[in-house]
Amino acid sequence: MSRPFNLVDVFAETPLAGNPLAVVFDAEGLDTDAMQRIARWLNLSETVFLLAPSRPGADYRARIFTLERELPFAGHPTLGACHAWLSRGGTPARAGQVVQDCGAGLVTIRRGEGRNAFAAPPLLRGGPVDAADLAEVAAILRISPEEIVEARWVDNGPGWIGVMLASAEAVLVLDPARDHPRRMDIGVVGEHGAGGEAAFELRAFFSDQFGALREDPVTGSLNASVAQWLLGEGHAEAPYVAAQGTKLGCAGRIHISQDADGQVWVGGSARTIVSGVIDLD
């Protein structure tokens, strides 16, 4: 059976500068193994499969796959899936917002002019990183533990450890290890000087299924949890813009805001680059 799909560029102000995402529509009838095989074949960091919602109050259901596993939540797939669903004529039940049903529950996406924003979900794990984990992270980043200004668990699904360095320049010069024997998901943040377009620079390093460490171009889940950390501890004020993907030749821009209730919102642009059909017959 043929199924429509889009390739969407997420978190970029200009085409081909963000994080690519595959969105497969009408995914009913595909089992988990088939979804995983499609995601692996497409060879993108994530692929989203859209289905009818399974929870009351949702507009659609999204199943999110990396090359090796299903994730309960991820940020650039959330914004990309919402964009794709709307572009194919999806009509949300509530004006001004879309509600996504995913493994992490219901995620609200606020519609805006030129970019949408998702509500940052609660952390699954927060708090300080112990000395052993911190030493392991420093070894992977190939820096001394003393260069880490602060570290926190900022896990909202993928398993992120957040690391703060002294500056954006310190983040950009990192040359981490190429592999590691156990799975690690590390997000690094450093502050830019005043007056620039972006307030912070982020990089995201994660283990693939073979133990290699890869860098993600632009990472919504990491930016969401890092924003909760930075805002909660007084390291930043909202709104602000974060940059990511610079070392990979990308120009990701993530727009962070916070409403009167303290909810953090993560916004970014999304555009369809390719439309096609996946034929599995």
Mean predicted lDDT score pLDDT of the chain: 96
pLDDT class of 249 with cuts at 50, 70, 90: very high
Examine the pLDDT at 209 and tell me if it is beyond 90: no
Domain that holds residue 76: 2-118+268-279
| Claim to verify: residue 93 and residue 137 sit in the same structural domain | no
Asked if the structure places residue 125 within a domain, the reply is no
Report which of 67, 24, 83 is spatially closest to residue 75, judged by C-alpha positions: 83
Per-residue CA distances from 38 to 34, 47, 206, 216 (Å): 6, 8, 21, 20
| Claim to verify: residue 214 and residue 240 sit in the same structural domain | yes
Examine the pLDDT at 1 and tell me if it is beyond 90: no
Give pLDDT, residue 237.
97
Give pLDDT, residue 158.
84
| Claim to verify: residue 140 and residue 248 sit in the same structural domain | yes
Asked if the structure places residue 111 within a domain, the reply is yes
| Claim to verify: residue 189 and residue 257 sit in the same structural domain | yes
Residue 78 near residue 118, CB atoms below 8 Å: yes
Asked if the structure places residue 123 within a domain, the reply is no
What CATH code is carried by the domain that includes residue 6? Answer: 3.10.310.10
Asked if the structure places residue 35 within a domain, the reply is yes
- Sign of the Cα torsion 269, 101, 186, 6 reads negative
Asked if the structure places residue 200 within a domain, the reply is yes
Beta bridge partners of residue 275, listed in sequence order: 6
Asked if the structure places residue 124 within a domain, the reply is no
Examine the pLDDT at 118 and tell me if it is beyond 90: yes
Helices 75-87 & 220-232, crossing angle to 10 degrees?
A: 120
| Claim to verify: residue 27 and residue 109 sit in the same structural domain | yes
Q: Total domain count for the chain? A: 2
pLDDT tens digits for 63-113?
A: 999 999 999 999 999 999 999 999 999 999 999 999 999 999 999 999 998
How many Cβ atoms sit within 10 Å of the Cβ of residue 84? 28
| Claim to verify: residue 162 and residue 102 sit in the same structural domain | no
Asked if the structure places residue 126 within a domain, the reply is no
Examine the pLDDT at 281 and tell me if it is beyond 90: no
| Claim to verify: residue 215 and residue 152 sit in the same structural domain | yes
| Claim to verify: residue 257 and residue 273 sit in the same structural domain | no
| Claim to verify: residue 159 and residue 185 sit in the same structural domain | yes
Structure letter (DSSP) for residue 144: -
Segment 112-130 shows an average pLDDT of: 95
| Claim to verify: residue 141 and residue 257 sit in the same structural domain | yes
Asked if the structure places residue 228 within a domain, the reply is yes
| Claim to verify: residue 78 and residue 157 sit in the same structural domain | no
| Claim to verify: residue 179 and residue 210 sit in the same structural domain | yes
